[in-house]
Structure 1
Amino acid sequence: MPPVLATFLRRKGFDATHTTDYPQAQYLADQEIRQIATEEGRVIVTKDDDFLDYYWAKGAPPKVLKLSIGNIRNNDLIDLLEANLQTINKLFQEDANVVVFGRNSLISY
């Protein structure tokens, strides 16, 4: 995900980070990202199916917001999330472990 997404989420009051915020950023493997998210109580925001596959195999933590939106410009991504952020946040607050967000769908597990 683009760093601008973490910036947007911080502006909305979330304690968001991006992999580029970590010293070993270019070398972070999925396992390390999961470990950081678990240790810091973060939700992984991704378009990558690997994090969702791991959840189905191993469960939570960490929590995952899987974006199933295909290719999208950064501004359009921010607009789409802006319109749905309150609902997504509410789902996680109500103990969802995974939220799959598409352009026309929002599913929580």
Structure 2
Amino acid sequence: MKLLIDAQLPRRFAGWLAEAGHDALHTLDLPHKNRTPDAEIVALANQDGRIVVTKDDDFVQTYILNGEPSLLLISTGNISNAELEKLVRANLVAIENALSAHRFVEITRNTLVIHE
């Protein structure tokens, strides 16, 4: 998977996904870093075929209005980086499978939700 990790998530999140064999880019890797406007993130994701990984509801609204970008929404509330890593690693295969067939997937602390 090609992923673009939004600013609310730690840079090492991209590292975890890269270790699992994915092409993961964090907003800190972009020219405007974490100040990259959402519209630029959406444009880059669409241009490169990336899935935006975010906790930001603004991307959900963009998806609802425009059907883009492909989205993995992290809906865990406040969570430590260690807990987030454990959650993602435990569910990575299910996330991969869901995103291979669907454009909007959400993960909570307890479940994986496919929207569409």
TM-score for the superposition, normalised by structure 2: 0.88
Structure 2 unmatched ranges of 5 or more: 1-8
Q: Give 1:27 deviation, angstroms.
A: 2.9
Among 98, 104, 113, the residue aligned to 1:98:
104
Match of 1:70 in 2: 77
Question: 1:51 Cα deviation (Å)?
Answer: 0.3
Task: Please give the residue correspondences for 1:26-105 in structure 2 after superposition, counting only pairs within 5 Å.
Answer: 26-60=34-68, 62-94=69-101, 96-105=102-111
User: 2:5 — aligned with what?
Assistant: none
Aligned length: 107
Structure 2 residue corresponding to 1:7, chosen from 9, 15, 23:
15
Matching residue's letter, 1:14: H
Let me know the Cα RMSD of the aligned residues: 0.9
Runs of 4 or more consecutive aligned structure 1 residues displaced over 6 Å after TM superposition? none
Distance 1:5 1:26 in 2: 14
TM-score (norm. length: structure 1): 0.94
Between stretches 79-88 and 23-32, larger displacement belongs to 23-32
Provide structure 1 residue ranges, at least 5 long, that are not aligned to the other structure.
none
